[in-house]
Chains A and B, each alone.
Chain A
Amino acid sequence: MKAGKKTFSRREFLQGAALVATAMVANACTTPTPEVVREEVEVTRLVEVAGTPVVEQVVVTATPPPVVKGEAPAVLGVLPRSETLIADILTGRVGSPSNFNEWVGWKNRDRGMQTLANEPLWTVDFATGEIINGSADGDPIYNDDFTEMTIKLRQGTTWSDGEPFTSADLVFTVETLMKYEGFNATSFFNENVDTVSATDDYTVVFKLKQPNSRFHTTFLDRWGCTWVMPKHIFEKVEDPVTFEFNPFVGTGPYKLHSFDPAGFWTIWEKREDWDKSPTGILFGEPVPKYIVYQNFANEGAKILAQLTHQADVVNLSSDGLKALLAQSKTSRAYQPTFPWVVNNDPCITGITYNTARPPFDNVDVRWALTLAIDIVDYLAIAMDGTATMSPVHVPHLGAYPKDYIEPMQDWLKELTVDVGNGETFAVYDPDAPKRVVEYAKGRGYTFPEDPESVAKAFGLGWYKYAPDIAEKLLVKNGFTRDADGKWLLPDGKPWKIAFMTETDMTHPGVRNGMAAVQQWKKFGIDAEHYPTEAQANLISIGDFDVSQSWPAQEPWGAGPDLYRVLNYYNSEYVKPLGDTTNGHPSRWSSPEMDAIIKRLRETDPTDYAAVVAVGTEGLKEAVRQMPGTPTFGYVGFVGWDQYYWTNWPGSENAYTQPYTHWGPFKYMTPFLKPTGA
């Protein structure tokens, strides 16, 4: 053997190791601390003037775009980087990449179909609370008893292959959905629609089988809705259920460019005739020529991609966002300062109790569990304080504070629970947000502390941390403590709670679970976090104690109408344990809530004041009975890289909602600005 050869390779190895070590040390020394620069920057904004959106130049205080150049490749794959926007797919790798038939099953529509290429009839933008007319031209028109609905369609738009968009497409869509089994919406349309017809090229009339004042919401895009099929393509197809609909054709401003058969990316290209799409007509020409939706299989790679400018906007976790901001000089979050997070997702997170299983069938027990929670510690564990708390079953965002939460403050302050022996206790604590501010300052974060900013970032108040009152409530109902201080059920057995969640440790629902378990452990209950893949099944058949399910169904895009929230508690959907329930997983209902639901159903959805009044009654009933404890609004963590694109809709310039996976993203595209890098 040639011994000389072996020693050579050893030396080579040592050299390589030294190189590697130096590189790592060098990198460690150059990590910047997170910098928040606030300057006056010119931004473009969307303003409503006399009913039509108008573009306006404003000067806003925001984080400016960077000046560093030459850091990233000019071409990525086959696309010119400065004309391409790269976003990360929220919902993961696409399972069936060549199938764009969104009417059947789930086809990852947030990979561009819903966000760029399809224009629904109406879209709700939860950042502004507005309903935007897409392919429809105005509100739906109902007759007096809500059995007939007329829709006027927008004129002058075409499909991305050039064919004109007319009422024939909508009629064809509804008829096809009703005719074939296997579509998602088949049952809904067959139950509700008697006939559908086009009275002219741009008017469609529906005759309904029974009064339904909210029938039109099936076409209202909040996060999915019923889309319109292009008749000229689908009518030639034998079986529209298995038809792949490749390439996707829609009336949105982008068309399909290419996709990865393995499901990792989908690329969309701006239509040349973008002015024939509603987005183009309303807001102007979209700026990025190509938009890519890419899947990164793990968060670390995602962050590295953004750090090397191979991605422009990514969805992260709480710590992922912190890591991104710490390492990148050009990235920013939705809010320019702490708490950084996107807090206007219209979903309230929290704890859901299985009210069909003792001891959670007792409202005192549910209140005791709620009062045993220290909301500051809870938010610290769950989100490091970066969440907006809400004491009612809608989140603190959009118009909800003005319409519901602020008007309810007095009622909340007077709300009491009966502790027994004639004693009552006022449960509401309006100072909770201040304590969260103290915690955040203690962690070293700086942020504006005026009352308005604090309310917007952290909420208006929550329930008091009162473990002694919780104890009294439990004792009143026969619970006792053993020698170690652990709680025992009225029948003497140790009280064990298994908090069921899904398995993704960064999901806000799971974080709720982890935080709640810690609170209850401190209180003396043998509580445990139980993540499982089977949670969907177990929750639907009611085989759980406490779960992360949203304590209330989410409303449509933060509109004032809470019908969807409250109807979920309808007693006619509650089934016995072991059967799949169709309503809220808590299986709770009450005659009072049923009455409120009935009143809401009979209220005209466009009568703002009336809707809010009934909605408030519903929220009060939910708070009194606590089928689930609401904690904080859903938190999203979005990182924007300003190396190639700027003028993102941050919280200081929220001209539209911030996500790239929601429908209104297409309305953001005309306002982005290239930096010239």
Chain B
Amino acid sequence: MAFIRRYLIPRLIQYFLVIFLGITAVFFIPRLIPNDPVQRTLQEMKARGSFLDPGTMDEIIADLTEMYGLEGSWGEQYLAFWGRFVRGDFGVSFFQFPTPVNKLIGIALPWTLGLLLVTTLLSWTLGNIIGGLAGYFSRRGWSHALDTVAMIVRPLPYYIFAFALLLLLAYVVRWFPVSGGYGLGRTVALNWGFIKDVLWHSVLPALSLIILGGAVNFQTMKLIVQNVNAENFVQYAKLGGVTEDRIVSKYVIRNALLPQITGLALSLGQIFSGALITEIVFSYPGLGSLLYHAIVNGDYNLIMGITVFSIFAITTAILIVDLLYPIFDPRVRYT
């Protein structure tokens, strides 16, 4: 009971406060940039060849301002936003007028979730397992070799790495497609042909993310395990005749995991920001480029929609990790 009163409730209040603060910040910051969405729309229309008669420009601006819901002061817009938010309505996108924001997110979300969920979990798991083993057996040759590989892969600029992969596996050898989430002309349906196509198209983006993410996790875990390895209790266990399997799994890895779990939670939470460069290099659908174009175009509603998801995901991930800390590390107490 004391736990709930002394820790849980304040923690939940903090949780909601952070979300509120985050949403408010994301509401006001885009409006501070001198990137007026109405002007951008006009510019876009002119650039795309709509001949806007200079005489009628003022009416067009007034019409657009009203359609975008940008009339009134920021305070009024802010309250209007919360009014719509509680109904789950994020409004319509400015730049893809009049498509509702929810629809845009709904189309992009499955791609991002699918790709990033799988790659984050895979790279974390693989990286940590191999890293843990390499850290424990840090004197062996293979451990040094893997460390060197990870060390060379990690600092490569991701764009170069991804593009080199594309060049190699889609052009030099034609094993994978050059772009897209799925083949031309295919309809989105849950049949085996479509799923196979999606998987085939996702190999390259996934590979680039897993290798890079895995390298990072590998190195961090190796370092941590090396330090844990040197601790007294591990030496005692070895001298005491505990089998190596037990030492590695029960003593070393469990202790090394705590900071890594925090890292995993945060990575999972950041899925909702998308992977912009992956989407650029592989022409892959997802939230990253949606968000980027929204920012550049001053599409306030779309920015709010995506980042609200993101804020919720990250905050919830942190909350869960905080609450579960004591399970992983019995030394931590919250009373």
| A contacts B: CB pair < 8 Å | yes
A interface with B by C-beta (< 8 Å): 1, 3, 6-7, 9-10, 13, 20, 23-24, 26-27, 76-79, 86, 91, 93, 95-96, 99, 104-106, 109, 181-182, 184, 186-188, 191, 217-218, 222-225, 241-242, 257-258, 261-265, 267, 292, 294-298, 300-301, 304-305, 307-308, 310, 533-534, 536-538, 540, 564, 567-568, 570, 573, 580, 582-583
A78 touches B171 (CB 8 A): no
A262 touches B54 (CB 8 A): no
Shortest distance in angstroms between B90's beta carbon and chain A's nearest beta carbon? 15
- Residue among A109, A262, A292 with most chain B CB within 10 A: A262
Asked, given contacts A95-B95, A264-B181, A534-B35, whether A297 binds B280 with beta carbons under 8 Å apart, the answer is yes
Interface string of B258-275 (1 = CB under 8 A from A): 000000000000000000
Complex Cα spacing A181 to B146, Å: 65
Question: Which size class do B's interface residues fall under?
Answer: 35 or more
Q: Give which listed residue, B56, B99, B111, B281, contacts A262 with CB less than 8 A.
A: B111
Complex Cα spacing A78 to B186, Å: 7
B98 touches A104 (CB 8 A): yes
Complex Cα spacing A296 to B57, Å: 34
B166 touches A304 (CB 8 A): yes
Complex Cα spacing A307 to B186, Å: 23
A224 touches B49 (CB 8 A): yes
Chain B binding surface SS class: helix
Which B residues between 8 and 56 are near A, CB-CB below 8 angstroms?
33-36, 39-45, 48-51, 53-56
Which B residues between 61 and 107 are near A, CB-CB below 8 angstroms?
61, 63, 67, 93, 95-99, 104, 107
* 18 contacting pairs across A/B (C-beta < 8 A): A10-B145, A13-B149, A23-B172, A91-B48, A95-B96, A95-B104, A104-B97, A105-B97, A106-B48, A223-B49, A224-B51, A264-B180, A264-B181, A292-B185, A300-B166, A534-B36, A536-B40, A570-B54
Please name all residues of chain A whose beta carbon is closer than 8 Å to the beta carbon of B34 when the two chains form the complex: 534, 537-538
Shortest distance in angstroms between A293's beta carbon and chain B's nearest beta carbon? 10
Complex Cα spacing A307 to B48, Å: 29
Does B334 sit within 8 A of A, measured CB to CB? no
Please name all residues of chain B whose beta carbon is closer than 8 Å to the beta carbon of A91 when the two chains form the complex: 48
B137 touches A1 (CB 8 A): yes
Shortest distance in angstroms between B116's beta carbon and chain A's nearest beta carbon? 16
Asked, given contacts A304-B166, A540-B42, whether A262 binds B67 with beta carbons under 8 Å apart, the answer is no
Shortest distance in angstroms between A474's beta carbon and chain B's nearest beta carbon? 31
Shortest distance in angstroms between A559's beta carbon and chain B's nearest beta carbon? 14
Please name all residues of chain B whose beta carbon is closer than 8 Å to the beta carbon of A95 when the two chains form the complex: 93, 95-96, 99, 104, 293
B98 touches A297 (CB 8 A): no
A261 touches B188 (CB 8 A): yes
B interface with A by C-beta (< 8 Å): 33-36, 39-45, 48-51, 53-61, 63, 67, 93, 95-99, 104, 107-108, 111, 133, 137, 140-142, 145-146, 149, 163, 166-168, 170-174, 177-181, 183-188, 244-245, 248, 279-285, 289, 293, 296
Q: Give which listed residue, B50, B93, B173, B281, contacts A300 with CB less than 8 A.
A: B281
A24 touches B172 (CB 8 A): yes
B99 touches A23 (CB 8 A): no
- Residue among A86, A106, A265, A538 with most chain B CB within 10 A: A106
Asked, given contacts A99-B99, A184-B50, A262-B107, whether A304 binds B285 with beta carbons under 8 Å apart, the answer is no
B283 touches A78 (CB 8 A): no
Complex Cα spacing A540 to B279, Å: 32
A191 touches B55 (CB 8 A): yes
When C-beta atoms are compared, the residue in chain B nearest to A185 turns out to be: B50
Asked, given contacts A261-B107, A297-B281, whether A267 binds B244 with beta carbons under 8 Å apart, the answer is no
A573 touches B283 (CB 8 A): no
Shortest distance in angstroms between B297's beta carbon and chain A's nearest beta carbon? 8
Shortest distance in angstroms between B191's beta carbon and chain A's nearest beta carbon? 13
Complex Cα spacing A262 to B182, Å: 10
B185 touches A77 (CB 8 A): yes
Shortest distance in angstroms between B161's beta carbon and chain A's nearest beta carbon? 13
When C-beta atoms are compared, the residue in chain A nearest to B295 turns out to be: A533
Complex Cα spacing A214 to B285, Å: 44
Complex Cα spacing A223 to B283, Å: 27
Asked, given contacts A79-B184, A184-B45, whether A573 binds B170 with beta carbons under 8 Å apart, the answer is no
Asked, given contacts A95-B96, A292-B184, whether A537 binds B35 with beta carbons under 8 Å apart, the answer is yes
Task: Identify 19 new A-B residue pairs, CB closer than 8 A, beyond the known A105-B41, A537-B36.
Answer: A1-B133, A6-B133, A7-B142, A9-B142, A10-B141, A23-B173, A26-B172, A76-B185, A79-B185, A104-B98, A265-B184, A296-B178, A296-B179, A301-B282, A534-B33, A534-B36, A536-B43, A570-B54, A582-B55
A262 touches B108 (CB 8 A): yes
Asked, given contacts A106-B44, A182-B67, A224-B50, whether A298 binds B283 with beta carbons under 8 Å apart, the answer is yes
B183 touches A301 (CB 8 A): no
Please name all residues of chain A whose beta carbon is closer than 8 Å to the beta carbon of B44 when the two chains form the complex: 106, 536
Shortest distance in angstroms between A484's beta carbon and chain B's nearest beta carbon? 33
Q: Give which listed residue, B35, B49, B67, B179, contacts A301 with CB less than 8 A.
A: B179
Q: Give which listed residue, B55, B96, B163, B170, contacts A96 with CB less than 8 A.
A: B96
Shortest distance in angstroms between B268's beta carbon and chain A's nearest beta carbon? 23
